[in-house]
Amino acid sequence: MPARVLILGGTGEARELARWLHDQPGIDIVSSLAGRVSTPRLPVGQVRLGGFGGTSGLAAYLQSEKIAAVVDATHPFAATISWHAAEATATAGVPLLMLRRPGWTAEPGDRWHRARDPGAAAELVEGLGKRIFLTIGRQGLSAFAHLSEHWFLARCVDPPSPPAPPALMVLLGRGPYTLAGELELMRQHAVDVLVTKDSGGELTKAKLTAARQLGLPVVVVARPPVPEVPRVPTVFAAASWTMTITGNYQWSAVWGGGGSRNSKPTP
């Protein structure tokens, strides 16, 4: 019987991990998505949609589906599911690995201001500018709803619902974005402050380069705390862990050695 592995997804890394593992003999992958966005990008292989019903629901799922290992490859700002995964896997006695891309680091020329959460970011932007580009997802907009003297451009995957700032223009999109596109967008709307989550990764990083080139201040919202569980920063490391934990030691060794018929390209 192949070992069943649950990938908690919603990220490019989760899709990439599913792509690496889904055709491996000895492993049976199921990817889980929260079902929040109207048109989710689906990974290859089996997918389940929707919440589990809290920690107890997830623990019950792990047992009923005979899950042998869990990879929490959710977004760095999806903290609730990570805490649930830590507790549920401990309850069910199932190994857990967290796959988290590193956060962004400031480069010379950057004018970054760190904020602990969207509320603190809203306090900061009041003194930094008047035309604010918000790239913190639709859920974060409510923290800026009281700022009636500012104009906002908000980019999110799905339309936001109230409360939201009164002077708000919404741009639907989910990247990846190019430097040329980000420069054009910020110039076109005369943006004078960028607000971003510290999501990390390459797909949405161009906005930071654009802000640097335009000399704009950037408010960077810090990641929420997540449980202390084994953690890796790359898809490669998560795939290796999964192969090892499910007893496929040989492939893991081959991947680590970087080449042979079973090896996968480095992401």
Task: Report the interface residues with ligand NAP, using CB under 6 A.
Answer: 8-11, 32-34, 36, 51-54, 57-58, 74-75, 77-81, 84, 137
Of the pair 36, 111, the CB lying nearest ligand NAP is at 36
Of the pair 74, 252, the CB lying nearest ligand NAP is at 74
Of the pair 80, 142, the CB lying nearest ligand NAP is at 80
Min dist. Cβ of residue 257 to ligand NAP (A): 31
Q: Which two tokens stand for residue 123?
A: 């306090």
Min dist. Cβ of residue 84 to ligand NAP (A): 6
Of the pair 58, 69, the CB lying nearest ligand NAP is at 58
Of the pair 47, 183, the CB lying nearest ligand NAP is at 47
Min dist. Cβ of residue 199 to ligand NAP (A): 7
Residue nearest to ligand NAP (CB): 51
Min dist. Cβ of residue 96 to ligand NAP (A): 14
Cα of 213 vs its chain's centroid, Å: 25
192 contact partners, CB below 8 Å, separation of at least 6: 128, 129, 130, 131, 132, 216, 217
* Burial zone of 38 (CB within 10 Å; 0-12 exposed, 13-18 middle, 19+ buried): exposed
Cα of 3 vs its chain's centroid, Å: 26
Half-sphere exposure of 197 (CA within 13 A, CB side): 21
Of the pair 125, 226, the CB lying nearest ligand NAP is at 226
Of the pair 157, 183, the CB lying nearest ligand NAP is at 157
The CB density around residue 54, as the number of other CB atoms within 10 Å, is 13
Min dist. Cβ of residue 72 to ligand NAP (A): 8
Q: In this structure, are residues 207 and 189 in contact, taking their beta carbons and an 8 Å threshold? A: no
Residue entry with tokens 């705390």: 225
As a whole number of Å, the end-to-end CA separation of the chain is 29
Closest CA to 220 of 199, 247, 201: 199
Q: Which two tokens stand for residue 166?
A: 């009164």
Min dist. Cβ of residue 187 to ligand NAP (A): 26
- How far, in Å, CA of 163 to CA of 201, rounded? 29
Min dist. Cβ of residue 132 to ligand NAP (A): 18
